């Protein structure tokens, strides 16, 4: 019954202590290790009052009190050092001394020593928070020391029999209660450290992701129109990553004066690994795309490079085309990517005939296929990633290709940017408040000749 009553009173201290751990003061001491005169005095007062409460809420047994008085100074010493521990202990000790009783002096001294020894442990551990197991052992030792002092004092006063009766009655409840109390408080303190560590790591990851996003977007061409001096064509492309860093890619560049190479890709996975694989894929495509090479030959070379030492087993789907500006012929090869659409000027929507192909990075020496299609004046090629057609709303319904085709049929006379943004707006309107799970990438090429 004594232990239960003490635990009930101790619970009040633990609740107050928990609230304390959420304050700026506690954060300065525990997280930043900034123990100033001001916060040292405040902590001394707070834990000194804890000590007084531990006394007045104790259970009277004979001429003594079973209590959790040592808890406040002990914790003060363990988290803020010997000065704060001793000051808190002094407050509790003075209060206990003037209460008198057969064990008044040894109990007062024990309270003072609880703060001092806690502070010494703090210094020995180089200001690191003690483990929960260590805290429990510390509490047990403090209470045993408390009882030994009481016994030794009884030898001086000649009240050994009465003191031993008190010790036998309170030793177990006080050891149990103080051990539980200090264990809970240290658990709270260590948990706060863990929370702040996680928050710090999360903030660092966010910064790294932001930097990675800037780097990733820096290698993607973003100036539109890209070739204002070329009246034969217009082009617009955009990436809307699902996360801060995505795995989609697009690129376009001239192989010579009359041949424009363009591509859209979608890397497996998300986040930083996907973005790194995306950067490598884009670089390899541009490095291997040379004049007089067919799209399938370019993909063959890139695929073999990506298959080498691909321990992460990542892959990228790619649609790559080469436009002959003089004739309107587009040679293309598809490495497992969504099939693009041709938007004819009269509003007819047609899928490009697919080619034999698999995602890059899956199987070395795979023979890709090249096919061709002819663009007429004001025809547009619409290339996209599955973030468009597989976008989901809260009803788990997909945006779908039918909805996309209906939208594209109304964009026959729209410039590439307007077509792209219209599709993205429709996708977001369809998604509503649902989470975007995949990157959205669109490239629209308008042939004007």
3-state secondary structure 191-202: HHHHHHHHHHHH
Question: Residue 171: its pLDDT value, please?
Answer: 85
φ/ψ of 249, rounded to 5, equals -150, 155
Question: Residue 36: its pLDDT value, please?
Answer: 83
Cα 282 to Cα 111: distance, rounded to the nearest angstrom = 69
Segment (H or E) for 430: helix 416-431
Domains of the chain (ranges plus CATH)?
Answer: 2-204 (1.10.1760.20), 219-447 (3.60.40.10)
Question: Residue 13: its pLDDT value, please?
Answer: 66
Question: Residue 352: its pLDDT value, please?
Answer: 97
Question: Residue 416: its pLDDT value, please?
Answer: 97
Cα 216 to Cα 252: distance, rounded to the nearest angstrom = 16
**Block residue for tokens 């670089």:** 283
Cα 299 to Cα 86: distance, rounded to the nearest angstrom = 74
Which residues does 264 contact at the CB level (< 8 Å), separation at least 6? 237, 248, 249, 250, 318, 319, 337, 383, 384, 385, 441, 443
Question: Residue 244: its pLDDT value, please?
Answer: 63
Q: DSSP readout, 56-84?
A: HTSEEETTEEE--TTHHHHHHHHHH-HHH
Question: Residue 354: its pLDDT value, please?
Answer: 97
Question: β-strand 329-335 against 248-256: which pairing, if any?
Answer: unpaired
Instruction: Tell if the pTM clears 0.75, that is, is over it.
Output: no
Which residues does 408 contact at the CB level (< 8 Å), separation at least 6? 341, 343, 349, 382, 419, 423
Question: Residue 120: its pLDDT value, please?
Answer: 95
Question: Residue 438: its pLDDT value, please?
Answer: 87
Question: Residue 18: its pLDDT value, please?
Answer: 73
Cα 343 to Cα 410: distance, rounded to the nearest angstrom = 9
Handedness of CA 294, 295, 298, 299 (dihedral sign): negative
Contact, 360 vs 288, CB < 8 A? no
Mean pLDDT by 10 residues, the chain (449 residues): 58 71 73 80 89 80 72 90 94 90 88 95 90 93 92 89 85 86 86 83 81 78 92 95 80 96 92 85 95 95 93 93 97 98 92 97 96 96 96 94 95 93 96 90 95
Identify the bridge partners of residue 309 per DSSP, sorted by sequence position: none
Closest to 92 measured CA to CA, from 116, 62, 60: 116
């Amino acid at each position: 019954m004594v232990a239960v009553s003490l635990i009930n009173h101790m619970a009040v201290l633990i609740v107050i202590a928990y609230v304390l751990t959420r304050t700026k003061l506690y954060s300065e001491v525990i997280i930043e290790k900034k123990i100033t005169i001001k916060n040292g005095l405040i902590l001394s007062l707070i834990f000194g009052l804890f000590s007084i409460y531990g006394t007045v809420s104790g259970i009277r047994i004979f001429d003594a009190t079973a209590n959790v008085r040592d808890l406040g100074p002990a914790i003060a010493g363990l988290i803020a050092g010997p000065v704060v521990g001793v000051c808190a202990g002094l407050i509790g000790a003075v209060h206990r001394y003037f209460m008198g009783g057969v064990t008044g002096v040894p109990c007062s001294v024990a309270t003072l020593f609880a703060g001092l020894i806690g502070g010494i442990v703090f210094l020995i551990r180089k200001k690191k928070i003690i483990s929960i197991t260590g805290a429990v052992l510390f509490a047990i030792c403090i209470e045993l020391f408390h009882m030994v002092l009481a016994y030794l004092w009884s030898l001086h006063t000649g009240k050994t029999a009465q003191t031993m009766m008190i010790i036998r009655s309170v030793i177990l409840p006080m050891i149990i209660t103080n051990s539980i109390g200090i264990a809970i408080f240290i658990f709270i303190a260590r948990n706060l450290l863990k929370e702040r560590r996680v928050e710090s790591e999360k903030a660092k990851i966010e910064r790294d992701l932001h930097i990675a996003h800037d780097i990733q977007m820096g290698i993607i061409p973003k100036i539109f129109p890209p070739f204002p001096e070329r009246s034969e064509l217009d082009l617009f492309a955009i990436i809307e990553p699902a996360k801060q860093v995505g795995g989609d890619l697009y690129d376009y560049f001239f192989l010579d004066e009359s041949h424009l190479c363009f591509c859209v890709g979608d890397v497996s996975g998300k986040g930083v690994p996907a973005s790194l694989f995306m950067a490598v894929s884009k670089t390899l495509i541009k490095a291997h795309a040379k004049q007089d090479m067919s799209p399938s030959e370019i993909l063959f070379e890139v695929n073999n490079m990506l298959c080498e030492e691909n321990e992460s087993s990542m892959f990228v789907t790619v649609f790559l085309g080469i436009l002959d500006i003089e004739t309107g012929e587009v040679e293309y090869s598809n490495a497992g990517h969504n099939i693009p659409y041709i938007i004819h000027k009269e509003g007819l929507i047609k899928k490009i005939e697919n080619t034999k192909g698999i995602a890059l990075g899956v199987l070395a020496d795979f023979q890709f296929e090249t096919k061709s299609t002819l663009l007429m004046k004001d025809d547009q090629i619409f290339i996209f990633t599955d973030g468009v057609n597989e976008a989901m709303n809260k009803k788990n319904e997909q945006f779908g290709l039918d909805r996309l085709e209906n939208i594209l049929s109304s964009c026959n006379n729209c410039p590439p940017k307007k077509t792209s943004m219209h599709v993205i707006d429709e996708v977001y309107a369809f998604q509503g408040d649902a989470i975007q799970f995949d990157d959205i990438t669109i490239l629209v090429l308008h042939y004007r000749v």
